[in-house]
Amino acid sequence: MSNEWPLWEIFIRGQHGMSHRHVGSLHAPDAEMAIKNARDVYTRRNEGVSIWAVEAVHIAASSPEEKGPLYEPSNSKVYRHPTFFDIPDEVGSM
């Protein structure tokens, strides 16, 4: 069995009500150490108030080759954007 510590992806939420954001990865033997290491590596300058650690093997990712078909449904629906609709200036801001 490999003695390499597993890889964890680290997500941090900053102070201003933003959602958790991926900041990088690190190695740790378990979740508890992953969070401690994340504190030392990614919050040395008050970057965050909350840390999520997810073992990298548990992350499912979309593949770049499928980019076209995957996002096609949204590309073809321009009417989802508010600018699709011309509203006369007289109506005021909307």
Please name the residue that has the structure tokens 């994340």. Answer: 38
Q: Does 58 bind other proteins (CB under 8 A)?
A: no
Sheet holding 50-55, edge to edge: 21-27, 7-13, 50-55
Please name the residue that has the structure tokens 């980019």. Answer: 67
30: tokens are 């378990």
Q: Does 33 bind other proteins (CB under 8 A)?
A: yes
Pairwise CA distance, residues 3 & 73, whole Å = 45
Selected from 16, 17, 19, 40, the binder of other proteins by CB under 8 A is 40
Q: Does 36 bind other proteins (CB under 8 A)?
A: no
Q: How many CB atoms lie within 10 A of CB 14?
A: 16
Which one of 13-21, 58-66, 75-83, 86-94 is the stretch in contact with other proteins (CB under 8 A)? Answer: 58-66
Pairwise CA distance, residues 12 & 27, whole Å = 16
Selected from 61, 78, 91, 94, the binder of other proteins by CB under 8 A is 61
- Work out how close the CB of 47 gets to other proteins at its nearest, in angstroms, rounded to a whole number: 10
Q: Which stretches of the chain bind other proteins, using CB under 8 A? A: 3-5, 7, 24-27, 29-30, 33, 40-41, 44-45, 61, 63-65
